[in-house]
Amino acid sequence: MQHIAFIGLGNMGAPMAHNLLRAGYKLSVYDLSAAAIDGLTNAGARGAANAADAVNEADIVISMLPANEHVRDLYLGAGRVLDTAPPQALLIDCSTIAADVAKEVATAAAGRGFAMLDAPVSGGTGGAAAGTLTFIVGGEVAALERARVVLGAMGKNLFHAGGAGAGQVAKICNNMLLGVLMAGTSEALNLGVAHGLDPKVLSDIMSKSSGRNWALELYNPWPGVMDAAPASRGYSGGFSSTLMLKDLGLAQQAASSAQAPTPLGSLARQLYQLHQQGGHGQLDFSSIVNLFRPQT
Ligand code: NAD
């Protein structure tokens, strides 16, 4: 069985790594948080002292980190992955980062003889736990074929978006739309509730009408409408508002570089900026509904 190094064991990385263990892979793990490492070593992984220690025997390196700077640092900086991974290792970065940074890291990796994929995911923490993520991949087809089985242990949909960085472009388009849909869903629910409607009844109606969308149907932002959604557990866990703000910022940078108009994405970014400024960055991104709801 292949040996996998998994780096970044947060809300997404931890359940993804657990699925690799369940599939029988030999796993070395590293995170800045000792508690995050313990969660995986208790399930049978080897806890590494640092990133270099995690990757030194790996056939495949998978990273799931917050943002550009963490990925750059892991592969090109202090993490020293390009210096310490075995020469045949396949590198897969699943973080959501700028396409330009994904290309920069993939180019540096190729210069050292490594195949590398950008493989950001969609499906949230629920999809990560259930092993039903969608992987949106950029890079060479041959590298994607080498990754297919291992990604299949963590997800059920695999798309090839194009060359290096293309996975990130597609992911940013998706998340810009998600930010717009979550803000729009919140606005519509609040309007109905302000007129005395039950948010669950209104959600049921819109889910069977032309306003239906993922935020409404699977990740409802109104507390109590959906038991499994972060809204029903005080917006804990899930996908933080800070990370959504990061993604909406990446979308705006991508829009500027291509001179593509994105007025709704721009407005969604401003709403998440306001939300973050209000001190709610660590709450799940569906808590944007609180910008609309009268606070008691
Ligand atoms: P998170 O903040 O919960 O986890 C990130 C983890 O990386 C933390 O445990 C942190 O300690 C660790 N880390 C940071 N720097 C490190 C380093 N140098 N070395 C080792 N570990 C390091 O974030 P998350 O919610 O798991 O998201 C990870 C990525 O996936 C982000 O790019 C996010 O945009 C994307 N994403 C998240 C979701 C979601 O629903 N949470 C969905 C799709 C994509």
Question: Each residue of 127-162: pLDDT tens digit?
Answer: 999 999 999 999 999 999 999 999 999 999 999 999
Q: Going by DSSP bridges, is the β-strand pair 60-63/46-47 parallel, antiparallel, or unpaired?
A: unpaired
> Which pLDDT score, from 0 to 100, does residue 41 have?
98
pLDDT band at 228 (very low <50, low <70, confident <90, very high): very high
Q: Mutation test of ligand 1: which of 171, 218, 243, 282 has the most ligand atoms closer than 8 Å to its C-beta?
A: 243
> Which pLDDT score, from 0 to 100, does residue 190 have?
98
pLDDT band at 99 (very low <50, low <70, confident <90, very high): very high
In the chain, where the domains are located: 3-163, 169-291
- Separation of CA 96 and ligand 1 centre (Å): 9
Per-residue pLDDT for 225 more than 90?
yes
- In this structure, the residue with its CA closest to atom 5 of ligand 1 is 10
Please report, rounded to a whole number, the percentage of residues in the chain having pLDDT higher than 90: 98
What is the arithmetic mean of pLDDT over 276-284? 97
Give the integer Cα–Cα distance in Å for 101 and 110. 14
* pLDDT tens track for 169-224: 999 999 999 999 999 999 999 999 999 999 999 999 999 999 999 999 999 999 99
Of residues 136, 128, 244, 135, the one with CA closest to residue 186: 244
Show the ligand 1 pocket: residues with CB < 6 angstroms: 7-13, 30-33, 36, 51, 64-66, 70, 73-74, 95-96, 121, 124-125, 238-239, 243, 247
Per-residue pLDDT for 1 more than 90?
no
208 tagged catalytic:
no
Of residues 46, 63, 51, 42, the one with CA closest to residue 3: 46
- Separation of CA 15 and ligand 1 centre (Å): 12
Per-residue pLDDT for 101 more than 80?
yes
Secondary structure (DSSP) of 142-170: HHHHHHHHHHHTTEEEEEEEESTTHHHHH
SS3 72: helix
Per-residue pLDDT for 296 more than 80?
no
Out of 156, 171, 208, 246, the active site residue is: 171
Q: In this structure, which CATH number among 3.40.50.720, 1.10.510.10, 3.40.50.2300, 3.40.50.970 belongs to the domain 3-163?
A: 3.40.50.720
Q: In this structure, which CATH number among 1.20.120.80, 2.102.10.10, 1.10.1040.10, 2.60.120.460 belongs to the domain 169-291?
A: 1.10.1040.10
Question: What does pTM read for this prediction?
Answer: 0.94
> Among the atoms of ligand 1, which is closest to the Cα of residue 247?
34
What is the arithmetic mean of pLDDT over 86-108? 97
Q: Mutation test of ligand 1: which of 239, 272, 282, 286 has the most ligand atoms closer than 8 Å to its C-beta?
A: 239
Q: Mutation test of ligand 1: which of 9, 11, 81, 137 has the most ligand atoms closer than 8 Å to its C-beta?
A: 11
> Which pLDDT score, from 0 to 100, does residue 10 have?
97
Give the integer Cα–Cα distance in Å for 191 and 224. 17
What is the arithmetic mean of pLDDT over 67-94? 97
* pLDDT tens track for 34-55: 999 999 999 999 999 999 999 9
- Separation of CA 10 and ligand 1 centre (Å): 5
